[in-house]
Amino acid sequence: MTDAPPATDAHRRGTGPVTATGPVTATGPVTATTREAVTWVEWDTGERNLLDLDTVRLILRELRAADADPGCAAVVLAGSPLAFCGGADLPKLRATGTAAEFAAEVIALLKLVPVLRKPVLAAVRGDALASGFSLALLADAAVAADHARLGTVEAAGGSWPMIAQVAVRHLLPAKLATYNLVTGIPFPAARLEALGVLAATAPAAQVDARVQELALAAAKPGPLAATGRRLLAELSVNAGYAADLDAALAGFVAMLNPTEAAA
């Protein structure tokens, strides 16, 4: 844990300075920054901001820490300054033989977000694709940069969004979800704002400020959110959601490593 640093060059590239008012923790590509009573969880693994096993485990760790922190009243998932998240780093998963472990951890992450005791917001500063789209959808409210694309893209590359499809199918209107899943064509941010899927779109430099404003509004119920938000999840996304994620695990592993899936 270190004192809050000045804004980095990466933040100057599109989202404006980051003003930390409390501790900053950083492990590998994942950083947790306290801004007032809001914990911002960011990760940066490169241009597309792809996920690997270690990165997902670190994001899980920071989310659990924020949920247990009495000084944290809300959480923001923010990805990196240039890309929210481009999904899984499939070549790395194949090369390292970590596909099954990765899938299990991603499923744990997608299960955790809806049942955190703190409100969860998403600052989508750039593209949110594949499982990155799932994370953006699972947030209680998301603000996206007006240039961002959001959706699954696996079908366009001859693959399938085995895990990402679960949140998409649960949280988007059925025909809209099916269109995206089977074509792999992502949505422009403005389309999802018009449908109410996004709380707002904004120029990239304004996304952080808009999300911080929403996060502070969502923080007002305080400890009551611990009970209310979990009940909200049971009333909505969790109706069959966890079981559907569990079923997706075998499909993902079979797609990347048929031998391992059959073992």
Catalytic (active-site) positions? 154
State whether the Cα torsion 119-85-146-189 is positive or negative: negative
Distance CA 23, CA 93 (A): 32
Rg (CA), the chain: 17
CA atoms within 13 A on the CB side of 146: 6
What is the rounded distance in angstroms from the CA atom of residue 147 to the CA atom of residue 159? 25
Q: Enter the DSSP assignment of 162.
A: T
Please tell me whether residue 35 adopts helix, strand or coil conformation.
Answer: strand
- Are the C-beta atoms of 138 and 167 separated by less than 8 Å? yes
The burial class, CB within 10 Å (0-12 / 13-18 / 19+), for 91 is exposed
- How far is residue 204 CA from its own chain's centroid? 17
Q: Is residue 85 a contact partner of residue 128, using CB atoms and an 8 Å limit?
A: yes
As a whole number of angstroms, the distance between CA 188 and CA 52 comes to 26
Closest CA to 139 of 124, 122, 125: 122
Q: Per the structure block, which two tokens stand in for 224?
A: 């009551």
